């Protein structure tokens, strides 16, 4: 059964301090998380001065990648459910001296987007939100013309044998993943609410990047 919002909050409350370290452990099984994050941010096609919203920003692992594109004149809004994760993100912001970052504690479904956003990204977070379709629809409405919504996340690959699916769930379980999440398809919402849809399979189909553009 998928975790409740409170259960997810408790999972990430416990993992916050060591999240960056434990996430990097997936390199041991060939999962190139940082490379995938870099590709996702690249596909946002950002410009200097853009305002970017990251849904489920966690500890801010993507912040440096985004800052390289938007520059000092841009703005980065990081949204996350868990205050402990945001506390780690705040430390990252202070360490780098960024003055253009706003951190918001909110569930993805309750967050109110500002207007005319230059890009929205979510990495390994949106599938955990049961109302992901509404999150993507409202985000699409808030994007400026030509801006992109990019999702990097896990999914159950088609035609995978049951044992491989079970393995995929097992290695991601520490981050709140359950087999029930396989019924959630954010990439279909990207295709539904945006144009120029594309999807890039990663890691033998266990992960993907979905991209859509505001028409």
Tens digits of residue pLDDT in 54-78: 999 999 999 999 999 999 999 999 9
78 pairs with which residues across the strands?
54, 103
Please check the confidence at residue 203 and state whether its pLDDT lies above 80. yes
Rounded CA gap, 29 and 63, in Å? 25
At 123-141, the pLDDT tens digits run 999 999 999 999 999 999 9
SS3 call for 20: helix
CATH number, span 5-213: 3.40.50.150
Confidence of residue 4 (pLDDT cuts 50, 70, 90): confident
Cβ-in-10-Å burial (0-12, 13-18, 19+) of 97 comes to: exposed
- Over residues 159-179, mean pLDDT: 60
Higher pLDDT, 39 or 166: 39
Q: Find the DSSP H helices in 50-202.
A: 63-70, 83-96, 132-142, 162-172, 186-193
Q: Give φ, ψ of 108 to 5 degrees.
A: -60, -35
- Predicted pLDDT of residue 28: 47
Most confident among 4-8, 21-25, 81-85, 158-162 (mean pLDDT): 81-85
Please check the confidence at residue 29 and state whether its pLDDT lies above 80. no
* The pTM of the whole model exceeds 0.75: yes
Confidence of residue 169 (pLDDT cuts 50, 70, 90): low
Sign of CA dihedral 10, 13, 14, 15: positive
Mean pLDDT, the chain, whole residue set? 88
- Predicted pLDDT of residue 156: 79
């Amino acid at each position: 059964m998928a975790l409740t919002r409170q259960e997810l909050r408790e999972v990430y409350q416990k993992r916050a301090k060591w999240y960056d370290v434990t996430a990097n452990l997936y390199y041991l099984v060939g999962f190139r998380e940082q490379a995938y994050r870099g590709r996702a941010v690249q596909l946002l096609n950002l410009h200097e001065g853009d305002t970017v919203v990251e849904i489920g920003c966690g500890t801010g692992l993507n912040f440096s990648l985004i800052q390289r594109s938007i520059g000092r004149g841009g703005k980065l809004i990081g949204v996350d459910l868990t205050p402990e994760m945001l506390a780690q993100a705040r430390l990252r912001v202070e360490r780098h001296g960024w003055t253009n970052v706003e951190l918001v504690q909110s569930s993805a479904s309750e967050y109110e987007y500002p207007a005319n956003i230059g890009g929205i990204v979510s990495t390994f977070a949106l599938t955990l939100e049961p109302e992901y379709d509404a999150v993507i629809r409202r985000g699409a409405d808030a994007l400026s013309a030509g801006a992109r919504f990019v999702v990097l996340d896990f999914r159950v690959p088609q035609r995978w044998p049951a044992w491989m699916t079970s393995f995929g769930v097992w290695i991601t379980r520490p981050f709140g993943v359950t087999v029930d999440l396989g019924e959630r398809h954010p990439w279909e919402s990207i295709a539904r609410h945006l144009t120029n849809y594309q999807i890039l399979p990663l890691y033998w189909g266990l992960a993907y990047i979905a991209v859509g553009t505001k028409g």
